[in-house]
Amino acid sequence: MSRILGLTGNGAVAYAVKQCEVDVVAAYPITPQTLIVEEFSEFVHNGEVHTEFVCVESEHSAMSACVGASLTGARVFTATASQGLALMHEILYIASTLRCPIVMGVVNRTLSAPINIHCDHSDMMGSRDCGWIQVYVENAQEAYDWVLQAFRIAESPEVLLPVTVNLDGFILSHSLEGVEVLDDEEVRSFVSTRKPVITIDPNKPITVGPICFTDFYFETKRQHVEAMNQSPKTINEVNGEFAELTGRRYNFIETYMMEDAEAAIICLGSTAGTAKAVAKRMRGRGKKVGVIKPWVYRPFPAEQILKSVENIGSLAVLDRACSVGAPYGPLCSDIAAVLYKENVKLNIFNVIYGLGGRDITPLDIEAIFNEALEVAETGVVKEPLKFVGVR
């Protein structure tokens, strides 16, 4: 039986982690993530969970402690944002190649300088190549749902990779929503307990993380790539089981009004909600627009995106991060690569928006849709890369 609780995005993550009966949480506070571990520490204090809560002195230590704990076979969670994620950077790669199925909430916040605590995706995009599965959510409900699914995906022996669940700082982390939660018992049977593949056993000693030079490093990395390449099968299965349990069907991407769309926006996270509302309004005026929202960013859902853009004339790719000096922002670079690889000629343009938490308004989005419609009609991309919302 499900209930509806009033939860913030951070609260929804903390609640999901509690229900997943996590063994170890090692974390360091950072705005706008702090409330996740703060609320979780209350569960620990109240004796509602059996979790070993490790207060560390930095995010570098947090992720290091998580790696150690995960290698013992424990179920491990942490959360961070922005500079904290950047400080974890080197350990992120260690966690993933050592195949530690850690789940981490990343409450997206921009990177300094200037110092700013508000939302954009430059933190996660800065660590994009760390070899973790990366999920972006649109609202608190999705944050809750994906954390539950993340443990299943991460810990699956077929995957054994860490997962970040990304939620937009403040926009989601601090907004209160009605979130439909499962009973503890339902979560327990859905998530189950972790069954470690690598075990630490004094009677059967192994060495983890030894030096590995020119002779085996490449092979170990290739194995990691393969784990990521094979993960869609498990992600799909877990999405399917979750849908049976809750009626909420997740996938690699969500498409909205794409069936007969002439132009579309693709974007990550909460902006998709605004884009959907604007698309609906424009549909009322006969403008055929739609929205594509990747839930799963790594592994990149190339196949699903290609299929969704099959019949449109133009795609606006929104990036809430910029890769200074690159031809496009990160999401658009991926899209361009996929289109080129499959020899699909689609007129795309990249919109960099919302850096440092700058709002993107429905009017901004409507203008982007109109531009995409114009590109679809004329076949001419006037501005391949533009900045929206900057003075």
- Give the nearest distance from C-beta 104 to another protein in angstroms: 18
Integer Rg of the chain from CA: 21
Compute, in degrees rounded to 10, the torsion defined by CA atoms 64, 66, 72, 74: 180
**Separation of alpha carbons 6 and 81, rounded Å:** 23
The residues near 119 (Cβ < 8 Å, ≥ 6 apart) are 32, 108, 109, 110, 168, 169, 170, 171, 270, 320, 354, 357
Question: In terms of CB distance, is 2 or 223 closer to another protein?
Answer: 223
- Give the nearest distance from C-beta 319 to another protein in angstroms: 33
* C-beta of residue 271 within 8 angstroms of C-beta of residue 220: no
DSSP summary character for residue 115: P
- Give the nearest distance from C-beta 243 to another protein in angstroms: 30
- Alpha helix locations (H) across 46-81? 59-71
Question: In terms of CB distance, is 115 or 208 closer to another protein?
Answer: 208
CB atoms within 10 A of CB 127: 20
**Separation of alpha carbons 235 and 248, rounded Å:** 14
- Give the nearest distance from C-beta 198 to another protein in angstroms: 6
* C-beta of residue 24 within 8 angstroms of C-beta of residue 75: yes
Question: In terms of CB distance, is 74 or 355 closer to another protein?
Answer: 74
DSSP summary character for residue 259: T
- Give the nearest distance from C-beta 246 to another protein in angstroms: 32
* C-beta of residue 296 within 8 angstroms of C-beta of residue 135: yes
Provide the binding-site residues for another protein, judged by CB under 8 A: 97-99, 160, 197-198, 205-210, 212, 215-220, 222-223, 226
- Give the nearest distance from C-beta 226 to another protein in angstroms: 7
- Give the nearest distance from C-beta 12 to another protein in angstroms: 32
Question: In terms of CB distance, is 217 or 340 closer to another protein?
Answer: 217
Question: In terms of CB distance, is 4 or 206 closer to another protein?
Answer: 206
